[in-house]
Amino acid sequence: MKRVLISTALAFGVLASPALAADEVISGLDTLVWDKPAVSILPGEKVTWQFPGTAQAHHVASNGVDGAAVVDASWTSFTSPLGVPAPNAEFTFTEPGTYKFICTVHKDTMFGTVSVGVAPPPPAPPLPLSQQPLGNDAPAPTTFEKVQEDKAKPKLSKVSATRRARGTVRVKFRVSEQSTVLVSLKRGGKTIKSVVGAGTGSGYLDVKKVKAGRYTVQVRAADVAGNEAAIKKTSITVR
């Protein structure tokens, strides 16, 4: 029967390729394409769809025919069950025509045609740039940090205290990097007054409303990372 059909087809000059004269196997892939989106067979031959080793849900279903007339009614309702991987499905085409098939899960990329006893459709012209993928070709990053942690302590120097206006003590200092500086006036181990400032280089902080007496002046500094400078002390008498 097949031989008769082939010779008939050849006689009509419709089919030219010897590759046509066989059943076809089409594989659905996890790259969301069919390995053979267009196959040609002769009436009476069979197409098998398989999904070897896939990790995504696929199946195959009829997407109608090219042209107006539905030539094979059983094709219209052809559909296979979903699966991971999906089971094989097959269909024997008996009538000439161009049959469209699809994976409905991936309808934008997994579609194709079976040409039965008719000339296969001419190869499609190249797609416009708006439909060709521009893949991300950037290499994978290998280093995820290039970091120097700040473990260095700031340096506190030139600490001095002077009396200013009534009850005000000006504490001068120099700090080697951006730091928060705490100036405390202490007496008998207790902090009586304290003032906080932030900055870098030379600076001073004024401690106001200080009652008369002799105080220990303690200056502490911590940089942005929280590293603390060695504590500096001096003393002052407020009159």
Using CB under 8 A, which of the segments 14-22, 67-75, 93-101, 149-157 binds another protein? 149-157
Using CB under 8 A, which of the segments 7-15, 65-73, 90-98, 138-146 binds another protein? 138-146
Q: What is the contact mask toward another protein in residues 172 to 211, using x (rule: CB under 8 A)?
A: x---xxx-xxx-x------x-xxxxxxxxxxxxxx-x---
Binding of another protein at residue 121 (CB under 8 A)?
no
User: What is the C-alpha to C-alpha distance for residues 40 and 22, in angstroms, rounded to an integer?
Assistant: 9
* Long-range contacts, stretch 186-192, CB < 8 angstroms, 24+ apart: 186/215, 186/216, 186/217, 186/218, 187/213, 187/214, 187/215, 187/216
Binding of another protein at residue 222 (CB under 8 A)?
yes
Question: Under rule CB under 8 A, which residues in 10-39 are in contact with another protein?
Answer: 32
User: What is the C-alpha to C-alpha distance for residues 1 and 6, in angstroms, rounded to an integer?
Assistant: 9
User: What is the C-alpha to C-alpha distance for residues 138 and 140, in angstroms, rounded to an integer?
Assistant: 7
Binding of another protein at residue 137 (CB under 8 A)?
yes
Binding of another protein at residue 62 (CB under 8 A)?
no
Q: Supply the minimum distance, in Å, between the C-beta of residue 25 and another protein.
A: 23
Question: Under rule CB under 8 A, which residues in 72-101 are in contact with another protein?
Answer: 79, 81-82, 84
Containing 7, the helix (H) or strand (E) segment is helix 2-12
Q: Supply the minimum distance, in Å, between the C-beta of residue 10 and another protein.
A: 39
65, two tokens: 């025919």
> What is the DSSP-derived secondary structure letter of residue 231?
P
Q: Supply the minimum distance, in Å, between the C-beta of residue 202 and another protein.
A: 6
User: What is the C-alpha to C-alpha distance for residues 98 and 90, in angstroms, rounded to an integer?
Assistant: 16
Q: Supply the minimum distance, in Å, between the C-beta of residue 118 and another protein.
A: 29
User: What is the C-alpha to C-alpha distance for residues 49 and 59, in angstroms, rounded to an integer?
Assistant: 9
- Are 93 and 116 in contact by the 8 Å Cβ rule? The answer is yes
The count of chain residues that interact with another protein, using the rule CB under 8 A, is 67
User: What is the C-alpha to C-alpha distance for residues 39 and 61, in angstroms, rounded to an integer?
Assistant: 16
User: What is the C-alpha to C-alpha distance for residues 226 and 151, in angstroms, rounded to an integer?
Assistant: 9
Binding of another protein at residue 224 (CB under 8 A)?
yes
Q: Supply the minimum distance, in Å, between the C-beta of residue 40 and another protein.
A: 26
Using CB under 8 A, which of the segments 20-28, 44-52, 53-61, 88-96 binds another protein? 53-61
- Give the amino acid at 11: A
User: What is the C-alpha to C-alpha distance for residues 145 and 162, in angstroms, rounded to an integer?
Assistant: 47
Binding of another protein at residue 125 (CB under 8 A)?
no
Radius of gyration, CA atoms only, the chain = 43
Residues that bind another protein (CB under 8 A): 32, 56-59, 79, 81-82, 84, 104-109, 128-141, 143-150, 152, 172, 176-178, 180-182, 184, 191, 193-206, 208, 222, 224-226, 228
